[in-house]
Amino acid sequence: MNTINAQLDNTDLLVFERKPIHNSGQIQPYGVVLVLQEPNLKVLQVSTNSSTIFGIPPEEMLGKSLEEILDPFQMERLEIGLRQDNLDFINPTKIWARKQGDDYVIFDGVFHRNTEGVLILELEPATSQENIPFLSFYHLARASINQLQETSSLRDFCQIIVQEVRKVTGFDRVMLYKFDDDNHGAVIAEEKLAHLESYLDLHYPASDIPKQARKLFSSNWIRIIPDTKAQPVELYPLNNPINDRPLDLTNSILRSASPCHLEYLHNMGVGASLTISLIEDGKLWGLIACHHLTPKYVSYELRKACEFLGRVIFSEISNREETEDYDYRVKLDYIRSQLVNDMAQSDNFVSGLIKNEANLLNLADARGAAVCFNGNWTLLGETPAEEDLNFLVQWLYKSIDEEVFTTDSLAKIYPDADQYKNIASGLVAMAISRRNYLLWFRPEVIQTVNWGGDPNNAYEADRSQGELQLSPRKSFELWKETVRLTSLPWKQVEINAVKELRKAIVNIVLRKADELALLASDLQRSNAELKRFAYVASHDLQEPLNHVSNYVQLLEMRYGDRLDEDAKDFIGFAVEGVSLMQTLIDDVLAYSKVDSQVSQFELTEVKVSLEQALTNLQKRIRESKARIIIQDSLPTIMADKTQLMQLFQNLIGNAIKFRSAATPEIEIKAERKEDEWLFSVKDNAIGIDPQFSDRIFVIFQRLHTRDEYPGTGMGLAICKKIIECHRGRIWVESELGKGSTFYFTIPVGGRERDRRNR
Ligand code: ADP
């Protein structure tokens, strides 16, 4: 997350980030620090409050051995302990120190060795309630363990922790703060005095706990500031006399907090604070933060108990977190299986995906989703407009290679998304196949999160002192952060769920493609059968038919004079039947020959095909005295010229055959539409009842008997097939007694161009 202060430039912030807080040489005044040289345990440095606590001014302490300061009876015990590498064995240890005269002061003493190899002894005045820490710890652990067994959710569990920590430590407010991947964090559990304002669910920007502070929290699991207003005391001398460098106080308990952090606490009205780090795999997972309105001291043992509890409990937190992740994953798995099931049961996978709207959205915890399939959009929830989505998909297609692409800040890589950041700052894009996508959207985070401060203003630069000073912001009002153009991040489980769904979709789409391929091969097979039938019709059927025809004619020739009139009539009927059969076979053959596979599409002058048709029809035209009116200019189109000729011949032939009492008048026109030619053949024949306007194009369908008008009912079926081969449409507009107009279209550029565009 970008938390650069509006009032600070980057360099200021970098200076601040680098400014060390672990070697300021300042400590909190409630205890004393002694820096000792081993093995003779001579004092190298001491905090300047030595005079108040031991009655010895710091300069007099230097060079003294520990034995001279402490009661000697304990030295042997300490020396044995200090021989160990692991100082945990003597920490904490009760230490009796001489005060001026015969007085003694009792301390809780804690030793550690720093990175420079010096021994540091920190002394805190011991509290008198010796046995309370143990009891408190017991109480803490027992109560928590009992209750935590009853909770399954991470939140409930954390709530119990803050309750118990507050009960035992008595702080006014105890919060459990969890860091997110980008280091901003949220308060997920809180216990507090009733009248205090709640910080529960507030998110805090990463800058509220700067990088070096986070590092210190990771190495120092428990930090106490008993009085945020107390004046820190310095070490004397300020630098380590061995190397004349500031002493590394990283692991010091008494180390003073940074002035920034103290001011931050003051602004929150905090008088004392205790912080317990929750570490997972060496990374700061969260903090238990305890605040008190007034100064408050917590003994070392009780703090240790809290730290121990932090560790023990944390292992449980990770379990709960894993369970929660697991539960979420199981939930997503279930949603995915429902989606797959719905898709499998639907005719097309898109309607399956949207059968239950919530499922598709919940799979990625999104506010909106969109499916783009074969150029059609299906939108759910809050999504950008279709027009914007078309551009987005184009961009995805050109720029993104991943099958599943995710971003929580779309506008930063695709600036057009700025205009719909309220809907789609976060995007998950699943590519199904070329230009087919499934998209999920999340709004800008500002719409969804309560921020506990203004992260862009976490620190203010104060240059009035001449030197750059940084101080935390003054306001802790609930403030909606301007984390611009960023959505909440997509979780890995959600991304995985989308990836799994993709596999299922691809499988289903592939299966459908297989089914289509099967269908196509069935079609091919039946086409082949039809061709075989045509062959059979032309040869095998015609041969016996010719036999019948020949023998009947022979019968008439040889025995005609011996037959009576009836017998001659019968022979006449037989000949007629044979000739009808012949026509039928010819028509079926013509029908089966109209085949896109063998059609020859070429630039064809419509006029030429039309004139050829008229030549073929000239006898009928002459007999009927039909008037044919042809538009002056007719186009040149991509078509099969023989088929086009056949089409005109059938339509004009019908117009003459079904003529009314009036002399036939037939008008042929062509008109250019956007991407097709519209042709019309208009007549003044008997007309067609509109209820039959579809039926007449079906094979063998006729509206008249052969006695009224000859024919097989194949003519218009052939026309329809020709037009389908050219990827056009054919229809009729007519009324009985008012003539008919047959329309047909042929795409501009013909079938070839049409095929290329698909
Ligand atoms: P056929 O002409 O052999 O009967 P068609 O398939 O060409 O078969 O026509 C089917 C039917 O459509 C015809 O029987 C006729 O009833 C009707 N029809 C076709 N063209 C016309 C027309 N121009 N005017 C009136 N009726 C028509």
Q: Which one-letter amino acid corresponds to residue 252?
A: S
Q: Which residues pair with 444 in a beta bridge?
A: none
Per residue in 675-698, pLDDT (tens digit) is 889 999 999 999 999 999 999 998
Output the pLDDT for position 131: 45
Output the pLDDT for position 52: 83
Longest dimension (CA), the chain: 168
Name which residue sits closest to atom 25 of ligand 1, judged by CA. Answer: 687
> How far, in Å, is the centroid of ligand 1 from the Cα of 693?
10
> How far, in Å, is the centroid of ligand 1 from the Cα of 614?
18
Where do we find the tokens 């991304």?
495
Q: DSSP code of 489?
A: P
Any idea how long the chain is?
758
Output the pLDDT for position 540: 77
C-alpha 213/C-alpha 209 separation (Å) is 6
Where do we find the tokens 């489980």?
493
Q: Does ligand 1 come within 6 angstroms of the Cβ of 711?
A: yes
Q: Give the residue among 721, 637, 649, 626 at the shortest CA–CA distance from 676.
A: 637
Q: Does ligand 1 come within 6 angstroms of the Cβ of 456?
A: no
Instruction: Name the residue of 681, 716, 734, 736 to mutate for ligand 1: max ligand atoms within 8 A of Cβ.
Output: 716
Per residue in 286-339, pLDDT (tens digit) is 888 999 999 998 887 788 777 777 777 777 777 777 777 788 888 999 999 899
Output the pLDDT for position 12: 38
Output the pLDDT for position 137: 60
C-alpha 290/C-alpha 190 separation (Å) is 10
C-alpha 64/C-alpha 719 separation (Å) is 118
Instruction: Name the residue of 646, 654, 741, 744 to mutate for ligand 1: max ligand atoms within 8 A of Cβ.
Output: 654
> How far, in Å, is the centroid of ligand 1 from the Cα of 696?
7
Query: What SS3 string covers 265-303?
Result: HHHCCCCEEEEEEEEECCEEEEEEEEEECCCCCCCHHHH
Q: Is the pTM of this model over 0.85?
A: no
Output the pLDDT for position 348: 77
Q: Does ligand 1 come within 6 angstroms of the Cβ of 654?
A: yes
Per residue in 609-640, pLDDT (tens digit) is 999 999 999 999 999 999 999 999 999 998 99
Q: Which ligand 1 atom is nearest residue 655's CA?
A: 23
> How far, in Å, is the centroid of ligand 1 from the Cα of 744?
16
Contact 740, 664 (CB under 8 A): no
C-alpha 724/C-alpha 434 separation (Å) is 28
Output the pLDDT for position 754: 41
Where do we find the tokens 């969804």?
448
Name which residue sits closest to atom 16 of ligand 1, judged by CA. Answer: 703
Name which residue sits closest to atom 11 of ligand 1, judged by CA. Answer: 702
Q: Does ligand 1 come within 6 angstroms of the Cβ of 501?
A: no
Q: Does ligand 1 come within 6 angstroms of the Cβ of 200?
A: no
Name which residue sits closest to atom 13 of ligand 1, judged by CA. Answer: 702
Sequential DSSP letters for 21-35: SS-S-EE-TTSEEEE
Output the pLDDT for position 501: 92
C-alpha 666/C-alpha 119 separation (Å) is 116
Burial of 142 (0-12, 13-18, 19+ CB in 10 A): exposed
Output the pLDDT for position 481: 43
Residue numbers in the chain where pLDDT is lower than 70: 1-23, 100-102, 127-149, 152, 181-183, 204-219, 446-484, 513, 538, 596-597, 749-758
Q: Does ligand 1 come within 6 angstroms of the Cβ of 696?
A: yes
C-alpha 124/C-alpha 358 separation (Å) is 59
